[in-house]
Structure 1
Amino acid sequence: MSKVYVAVIGAGGVGKSFISQLNAYALRSKKYTISTILISRSSKALLSKDYSGLNLTTWESDISSSSGVKPPSFPDETLKFLTSAPGPMILVDNTSSETIAEEYPRFLSSGVHLVTPNKKGFSSSLALFKAIYAASEAQNGGYVFHEATVGAGLPVLSTLKDLIDTGDEIVKIEGVFSGTMSYLFNSFAPLSPSGAEKSFSACVAEARELGYTEPDPRDDLNGLDVARKLTILARLSGLLVTEPTSFPIQSLIPKPLESAASAEEFLAGLAGFDGEMHKVKTTAESEGAVVRYVGSLDVGKGEVSVGLRNFDRGSTVAGLKGSDNIISFYTRRYGERAMIVQGAGAGADVTAMGVLSDLIKVLERLK
């Protein structure tokens, strides 16, 4: 069996799920021997200095015990350690760090393969996006896969790649790209109301309590997460969007609350603006529609936008449940009948599955 080496940076929610799934995959794999040589958190790490591999069953207790050491400095010590591995090396970045993402070209040009759910490298500056792919495509450059940056475990980027590679023409991509926003509006403006009507602020508070939002819900309500996903799709579709803020993004944060000192202060003040969101909902209902928070990419017009839109009650978007995502690909071949990818677009387990799927793609391409 071929031996491959793996380093994992970021072992929080997604990272823990990924390591568990990687361990199960490694145990059942008959083609590859997978040796995980680094698991790094912000303050402690596990290193297999002789490259024999770490125990992925006991890693959590090991990293908390005397076995845990200070992480190697990034990027220099980390890169030196990885490039000294006696075989193919895959770096898994499970963080959301822009500092780490800025070093992707350096790792890739050194032959280290990369898989990540970190959006920052692919949706921040256009120069970094181009540098990542240039490093990967250079002679002896590492492979790079980032399926989970847009749809967690949903096959969004791989579907887009297949459409483009087979010569189809992307006309438009639109849909609900945020599990948080999906849950919020499915609760606030349900297709089939049942029981007492909920205010928008109550829905936000409930979503936060259930763990669907970031600790500070403003990080979801500002629309930037969706904008980053649309930036990635736009760039891969041929629209060289300069920044995720270079197109219209409708923020759902009332301006007076943008500077609230804490998430609690923000939530306390949000109820004072429920009337505005109620009006948005009732206006949609008067048109036989429901309101949803969506992203839209029109390749032909070169337009990208993120914000609220009304959808006919019989539409697929209106019928979404829970925190599901739905992405519709309108292409020359498929015409008016879009190709639809739908399902859970958030959560540690499904995101980790997307990352592991990318790692397997790298394994399959190694010679």
Structure 2
Amino acid sequence: DLKQINICPGFIARTLEGNFTTLGRGGSDYTAALFANFYKASVLEIWSDVSGLMTADPRLVTAARVIPQLSYEDALELSHFGAKVIYPPTIQPALEQNIPIIIKNTFKLRDLGTKITSSWEDNSTIKGISSIDEICLLNLSGIGMVGIPNFSARFFQALADRNINVIIITQASSEHTICVGIQSFDREKAVEELHKVFSSEINSGKIDPIEVEQHLSIVALVGSNMKSQVGISGQMFSVLGRNGINIKTIAQGSSERNITVVIEKKHLKKALNALHESFFIEEIKKVNLFIIGMGNVGKAFLEQVSNQQAYLLDKLNMNLVIIGAANSKTMIFDEQGLDPTTFMEDLPKSEVFNQANFLEQMRSLNLRNSIFIDITASATVAEIYEEVLKESISVVTPNKIAATKEYKHYSLLKSLSKKYKSQFLFETNVGAGLPVLSTLSDLVKSGDQIIKIEAVLSGTLNFIFNNYDAHTPFVEVVKLAKKEGYTEPDPRLDLSGEDVMGKILILARESGYQFELDEVMGNSFLPESCQTSENEADFYLKLAADEVHFSKLYQEAQSKGCKLRYVASFEDQKLTTGLSQIGMDHPFYHLEGKDNIVLFYTHRYPEQPLVVKGAGAGAAVTASGIFADVMRVANTQQ
């Protein structure tokens, strides 16, 4: 019956003096709540242009969703900390009469919206994550405050006199400081008033001038079920810390309905997304990848990511997203993600590669759960690891240069990864996809001590000596190894033994010992002429010219019933590499194809060593090792 419907203005009001005015933001909702209270209505419906209160600001968190139901108290907390769907005073009149509030979308009538009531059956710990994007902190501090009453009262009265709303308050138990958060637009008048009120104490040195920190944001976890729930604060701080987000100040009321932190504004989007993924477990976790290096291994890695995406989404709720990629000539970025199956077609048409610009793009995007993957052999690319780790972006790489530089630099990268809660992983530096370094790490972490390491660490050299029979020229076998993708881009690095020297150095360092590369004794099997080649083509010519040398090495081993293996060892504080004749009774004798093998002799394995064996070269196995490191980082970011 339309005659029973009353229609009245919403935000039009009258002052005590009888003048017309408006109620300001949320005025119509507040008026409706007052009428609902007066008439003791059965329900209060608020129709808006959104479908209800959201788990986070949808402008910053694309995965945010509508909260179907929450308590009056949780709604008050969310609205206080920035949720603009409902105005805080609107809730109080409905709460007094226990009137349910339903928020609906005028343009999406079928959406269920959000229902706000006193209580219901709910097991979720966190209802939402709210934020205020532009605040500043005011710090009043000084030794003269300790034990002196009335400082707090004067401080807050000064702000109240200028109609400045305080959003967050913290005070040290020593009474040495008081810190409050206010809206940034109130900063100047707040500082002016506080300096006036405390001028005598500031001039006498009893307290310091008001300290102001700007360009900050508030993030608040809200949920009535947080009360007495162990680990919520720790989880929040851990998630922020792993993403390189420093917390300026923390507050939690005795009701335990919210935990509030202040962070730098530039990190707000990253913080909200990281927390949303962490606390709403049904959400898909996004792991952001930045890749330099699109050679054979890089392409194999892209193929593996593409093939595994459906599995990761289905089984682990995880989405690996390639945000940026580059080769030596061009680079391409897309914050929404590059298609690993097609973006290589667009890469040649993209912007010119510049390493500094690539780093700046990673820094400016400031995405959570980020991993930088270097799939090159470039010393120049390895130089940026330090800056990458400082941005709390983990580094995964098969590039051995960083891990074999001066021990001081190697140690620095390790310490930076700890300091900035990132990871520096290089499993594929030794043994391609074999779990060599992870096995060694487990031994060391569990308290075992490495006594001796014997290893065949070059899949390339093993392939060459398994296929060379003195009938096919040695140089042709080397060319075949490169064609099959088993060598470094320049095979001279493999045949010189430098690659193996770097690998045994890494094994020694990861065992807990301090060595430099020049302490590795490398015994080359190449004739002197081949060691001074000008380029790869010249190297092949000299290998062909010295075929007699290689044939002699083979024949000598054959005459003794042995096989040639390029062996690396660590024993008695000595690191050595060189070509050896291996008899049938040794584990190295039966190595096939491009296999690697590592024997770990430890206090727990003194006679029968712990053995890691398998394919140690090739694009696919190296890519799988990179993938494994990426997953290690992603799983520790959970």
TM-score (norm 2): 0.52
Preserved contact between residue 102 and residue 128 of structure 1 (Cα < 8 Å): no
1:146-203 CA-to-partner distances (Å, cap 9, x unmatched) read 11111111000001001111111111111211111101111236xxxxxx74454453
Assess if the C-alpha contact under 8 Å between 1:215 and 1:263 holds in 2: no
- When structure 1 is superposed on structure 2, of 76-85 and 228-237 the one drifting more is 76-85
Find the residue that maps to 1:6 and give its secondary structure.
strand
More strand by percentage: 2
State the structure with bigger RCO (CA 8 A, min sep 6), 1 or 2: 1
Instruction: Report whether the alignment pairs 1:275 with 2:548.
Output: yes
* Maintained 8 Å contact 2:452/2:600: yes
1:70 aligns with 2:344: no
Query: Which of 591, 604, 610 is the equivalent residue of 1:339?
Result: 610
Q: Following TM superposition, by how much is the alpha carbon of 1:321 offset from its aligned partner in structure 2, in angstroms?
A: 1.0
Partner of residue 586, structure 2: 315
- Report the CA distance shift for 1:143/1:215 in structure 2 as closer, same or farther (over 3 A): closer
CA contact (8 A) 2:524 2:579 kept: no
Indicate how the Cα distance of structure 1 residues 296 and 69 shifts in structure 2: closer, same or farther if over 3 A, else same: same
How big is the shift at 1:279?
Answer: 3.6
Please give the per-residue CA displacement for 1:293-321, whole angstroms capped at 9, x wherever unaligned: 111112xx111011011221232211111
Q: In the alignment, which residue of structure 2 is the partner of 1:44? A: 330
Q: Deviations over 1:104-152 (max 9, x none)?
A: 12211221111111111101221220111010011x3311211111111
Q: Map of 1:21-170 to 2, 5 A cutoff?
A: 21-30=304-313, 31-48=317-334, 51-65=335-349, 68-71=350-353, 73-75=354-356, 77-82=358-363, 84-138=365-419, 140-170=420-450
CA drift at 1:276: 3.4
The verdict on how the C-alpha distance between 1:168 and 1:215 changes in structure 2, with shifts beyond 3 A counting, is closer
Q: Which amino acid counterpart does residue 225 of structure 1 have in structure 2?
A: D
2:20 corresponding residue in structure 1: none
For residue 82 of structure 1, report the CA deviation from its aligned partner: 3.7
Relative to 1, partners in 2 of residues 1:82 and 1:353: Cα closer, same or farther, differing over 3 Å? Answer: farther
Task: Note if contact 1:154-1:354 (Cα within 8 Å) is conserved in structure 2.
Answer: yes
> Does 2:289 correspond to 1:6?
yes
Aligned twin of 2:458: 178
- Displacement, 1:272? 4.1
How far has the Cα of 1:210 moved from its partner?
4.3
Pick which of 310-319 and 111-120 moved more: 310-319
Kindly, what percent of the aligned residue pairs are identical? 34
Contact 2:428 2:625 in 1 (8 A): yes
* RMSD (Å) for aligned C-alpha atoms: 2.1
The one-character-per-residue Cα deviations of 1:271-295 (angstroms, maximum 9, x if unpaired) are 4433333443344344443221111
For the residues of structure 2 that align with 1:90 and 1:213, how far apart are their CA atoms?
26
Asked whether the 8 Å contact 2:505–2:520 carries over to 1, the reply is no
Pairs within 5 Å for 1:178-257: 178-188=458-468, 197-214=471-488, 216-243=490-517, 245-257=518-530
SS at 2:585 equivalent: coil
Distance in 1 between the 2:474 and 2:320 partners? 48
The gaps in structure 2 that reach 5 residues or longer are: 1-283
Note the alpha carbon deviations across 1:324-351, whole angstroms, 9 max, x for none. Answer: 1111111111221111111111111110
Secondary structure at the aligned position of 1:128 is classed as helix
- Please say if 1:293 is aligned against 2:566: yes
Q: Which has the larger radius of gyration?
A: 2
Gaps of 5+ in 1: 190-195
What is the SS of the residue equivalent to 2:519? coil
Which residue of the partner structure matches residue 27 of structure 2? none
CA distance in 2, matches of 1:63, 1:206: 30
Distance 2:630 2:502 in 1: 23
SS, match of residue 504 in structure 2:
helix
Could you report, residue by residue, the CA deviation over 1:240-284 in whole angstroms, capped at 9, with x for unpaired residues? 1112x3221122332123333443333333344333334433443
1:264 aligns with 537
Alignment correspondent of 2:187: none
CA distance in 2, matches of 1:265, 1:203: 16
